Amino acid sequence: MSDQPGCGPDTMIFLDRVSKRYPDQPHDAVASLSMEIKRGEFVVLVGPSGCGKTTTLRMMNRLVEPSDGRIWIDGKDVTHVDVDHLRRGIGYVIQQIGLLPHLTIAENVSLVPKLLGTNKVKRLRRADELLDMVGLEPSTFAARYPRQLSGGQQQRVGVARALAADPPIMLMDEPFGAVDPIAREKLQMEFLSLQRQIRKTIVLVTHDIDEALLLGDRIAIFGEGSRLAQFDTPLKILTNPADDFVRDFVGAGAAVRRLSLLTVGDVIDRSTPLQDYLQSTVDIHPEESVHRALEQVLAAHAQGIAVTLPGADVRFIALQDLLMAAAQPTVATS
Amino acid sequence: MSSVIIARRSVSSDRASVGILPAIVAALVVGVFVYIRVIPLDSIEARSLEVPLILNAVWEHIQLVLVSTLLTITIGVPLGVALTRKGARRIGGLILVGANAGQAIPSIGVLVLLAILFGVGFWMAVIALLVYALLPVLRNTMVGIQQVDRAVIDAGRGMGMSTRQILSTIELPLSIPVMLAGIRVALILNVGVATLAAFTNAGGLGSIISAGIALNRMPVLLVGSVLTIALALSIDWLAGIAERLLRPRGI
């Protein structure tokens, strides 16, 4: 099936030189954009407003029909297939949530299975399961109406609804944008751990670079005129920004942000063998983030960390060197 | 828990308003019948105010209102829906202008014109009422559909609902309250305008009123007007109950 270059067996979504032109507008909203998203990958599209990131997302389920180019999903060219059928196989979450106010939470969650002809008993059992999964007690919430829920609870329902038919792909347009900052952080963390269980292919649009760095396996930074300025892992974007646009967009806090993305294992080349006379250390697992390691060192007034590597080799990294890891991006990332 | 409280509160406030109107109507009707029993009536008045005659006029009036409103709904709602569909939106404005004009024309003018052109009778009166009451039904149907939250429709499309499914599961249910308000207005308008149907020999409470005027008999005039008011109030009351029952839960 994959007679397209850049479209291998691991590819879930492949945009092949897609463009979107609106009549009466001098510039293309999206101009000849190509992008490959792998199975199970969490990709975040980020950029200033008007950069075409939402248009790009909406072309993936053809809520916006591309003027040019092709869209491949799971090895199939879906540019011209039946659009309602296509969308039933793709989860869709929007900032405004868009729950049907006259349907109960359970009915809202089981909308797509209903469209697909699943029987009512199965649908409602699935709805309970999903509400549980997003942290809403079914016996409390299933029979309620959307307006009886807070914004954060409503968006959990929005996520549950998108997952109802167990689609391999989820498209999310600023899903946490309308939620207050405290609830947002909680939702983001919960969504990350949910993703670790369900392993969907997720494409999420945001204008918030911190959200992008927190959530994305890879981040696509859009510049003016839908130019794909950089499409890479969060760490690569922080350490090797492709150009000044990306550097400016990521902003001044890049060094500190990098601390939470680097693991102690990443900076182990700064370590020295642990000497016995250096008593003041904190034991840290190599998988911990440098940020977390720094916190513990500072809290314990220690001089550095002790890391036990496989083979019981104990290494020492001084506080100074942990800080340098943030300031000097010399790490070779895998 | 909170849902129960909300429901309970609205039920109790409904009960209060539901109780007051019928009491007023009952007072009006009883008052009228006591009045014509108590005061001395001359032979003309007595003949004009025989109970079967009054009941017949009321029944004719109800028929006029119900038939014309049903027809208005059958035409106005589908037309309103059709005019909000893609491609029809431009002529939608034009049709609304037409419906506006229909309501701007004095109803007595429409009635008389139709009578001159097509003759008199029940159905002529019904058509005149329809022309007059179409606007609120048509306009509220269109507004009701247009005011549906775009985000909900976007979510529906994103889930893979067809245009038809979006209409039946999102747009229509969510526009019901606005549509019902339009139908209620049409009903009440028709109760009033139907009194003019007497001029084209279609009967109704208007015939008692016009008899009262023609014969210069105050008690006859009074009975006709008070019963019209009582009928308008009771139909409004029934429409209010229907509105509450038909409004989808959750909105």
Which distant-in-sequence residues (6+ apart) come within 8 Å of A307 by Cβ? A264, A265, A268, A271, A283, A284, A285, A286, A314, A315, A316, A317
Residue A34's pLDDT is what?
Answer: 94
Tell me how far apart the alpha carbons of residues A5 and A17 are, in angstroms, rounded to a whole number.
Answer: 12
| Residue A157: pLDDT over 80 | yes
Q: Sign of torsion, CA A83 A85 A91 A94? A: positive
Instruction: Out of A61, A104, A147, name the one closest to residue B158 (CB).
Output: A61
Please tell me the predicted confidence (pLDDT) of residue B249. 86
Q: In this complex, which of A86, A96, A102 lies closest to B250 when CB atoms are compared?
A: A102
- Would you place residue A265 in the very low, low, confident or very high pLDDT band (cuts 50, 70, 90)? confident
Residue A204's H or E segment, with its range, is strand A201-206
Of A60, A70, A58, A66, whose CA–CA distance to A4 is shortest?
A70
- Please report the pLDDT score of residue B16 as a whole number: 55
pLDDT tens digit sequence for B91-102: 887 888 887 887
Q: Which residue of A has its CA nearest to B4?
A: A144
Q: Compare CB distances from B248 to A61, A102, A148 and report the shortest one's residue.
A: A102
For residue B157, which residues of chain A lie inside 8 Å, CB to CB? 63, 87
Out of B155, B161, B248, name the one closest to residue A94 (CB): B155
Q: Cα distance from A312 to chain B (closest Cα, Å)?
A: 53
Over residues A72-107, the pLDDT tens digits come to 999 999 999 999 999 999 999 999 999 999 999 999
Q: How does pLDDT run across B117-162, given as a tens digit for each residue? A: 888 888 888 988 888 888 899 999 999 999 999 999 999 999 999 9
Give dist(CA B40, CA A252) in Å, integer. Answer: 97
* Mean pLDDT computed over every residue of chain B: 86
Q: Which of A61, A85, A94 sits opposite B151 (nearest CB)?
A: A94
| CB proximity A161 to B under 8 Å | yes
In chain B, residues with a C-beta closer than 8 Å to the C-beta of A87 are 157-160
Tell me the percentage of chain A whose pLDDT exceeds 90: 57
Residue B7 scores a pLDDT above 50 = no
Using a CB–CB cut-off of 8 Å, the residues of B that contact A are 2-3, 149, 151-162, 165, 169-170, 173-174, 248-251
Q: What percent of chain A has pLDDT over 70?
A: 94
Q: Is the pLDDT of residue A326 over 50?
A: yes
More confident position, A121 or B112 = A121
> In the predicted model, is pLDDT for residue A252 greater than 80?
no
| Residue A146 to residue B250, Cβ atoms within 8 A | yes
Enter the tokens of residue A16: 């092949």
Is A102 within 8 Å of chain B by CB?
yes
B186: nearest Cα among B58, B24, B98, B71: B71
Q: Are B67 and B126 in contact (CB under 8 A)?
A: yes
Euclidean distance between CA atoms B228 and A223, whole angstroms: 70
Mean pLDDT, to the nearest integer, of B62-90? 92
Model pLDDT, residue B19: 77
> Higher-confidence residue: A287 or A166?
A166
Neighbouring residues of A215: CB distance < 8 A, sequence distance ≥ 6: A42, A44, A188, A191, A192, A204
Closest partner residue to B152 (CB to CB) among A100, A115, A161 is A100
Whether B174 sits inside 8 A of A102 (CB atoms) is yes
Percent of chain B with pLDDT over 70: 93
Looking at per-residue confidence, does B88 or A12 come out higher?
Answer: A12
Is a pLDDT exceeding 50 seen at residue B12?
A: no
Q: How far is B133 from chain A (nearest CA, A)?
A: 29
Closest by Cα among A36, A30, A80 to A55: A30
Q: What is the pLDDT of residue A332?
A: 42
Q: Name which residue leads in pLDDT, B87 or B207.
A: B207
User: What are the structural domain ranges in chain B?
Assistant: 2-246
Q: Spelled out in words, what is the top-level CATH class assigned to the domain B2-246?
A: mainly alpha
Best of A59, A97, A100, A109 to disrupt the B interface (most B CBs within 10 Å) is A100
What pLDDT sits at residue A230?
95
Cβ-proximal residues to A283 (8 Å cutoff; 6+ apart), any chain: A305, A306, A307, A308
Residue pair A153/A137 in contact by the 8 Å Cβ criterion: no
Return the residue matching tokens 């009321």: B58
Residue B6 has what pLDDT?
34
DSSP-derived letter for residue A110 is T
Q: Cβ contacts (< 8 Å) between A145 and chain B: which residues?
A: 3, 249-250
Between the alpha carbon of residue B91 and those of residues B86, B87, B104, B175, the distances in Å are 11, 9, 20, 21
- B-contacting residues of A 45-74, CB under 8 Å? 61, 63
pLDDT tens sequence across B169-221: 999 999 999 999 999 999 999 999 999 888 888 889 999 999 999 988 888 99
Judged by CB atoms closer than 8 Å, whether chains meet at A101 and B174 is answered as: yes
Residues of B in contact with A83 (CB under 8 A): 160
Average pLDDT over residues A123-144: 95
Q: What is the pLDDT of residues B24-43, one digit of tens each?
A: 999 999 998 898 888 888 88
With a CB-CB cutoff of 8 Å, which residues 8-47 of chain A face chain B?
none
First to last CA, chain B: 18
Q: Mean pLDDT for chain A?
A: 88
ipTM of this predicted complex? 0.80
Residue A219's SS3 state is: strand
Which range, of A75-84, A195-204, A276-285, B186-195, averages the lowest pLDDT? A276-285
Determine the pLDDT at residue A118. 93
Residue with the larger pLDDT of the pair A272 and B140: B140
- In Å, how far is B147's CA from the nearest CA of chain A? 14
In contact, B45 and B214? CB cutoff 8 Å: no
DSSP calls for A238-282: HHS-SSHHHHHHH-TTHHHHHHHHSBGGGGGGG-EEPPTT---EE
pLDDT at B37: 85
Q: How far is B245 from chain A (nearest CA, A)?
A: 14
Q: For residue B200, what pLDDT is reported? A: 84
Name the region of A197 (left: φ>0; alpha: ψ -120 to 50; beta: rest).
alpha
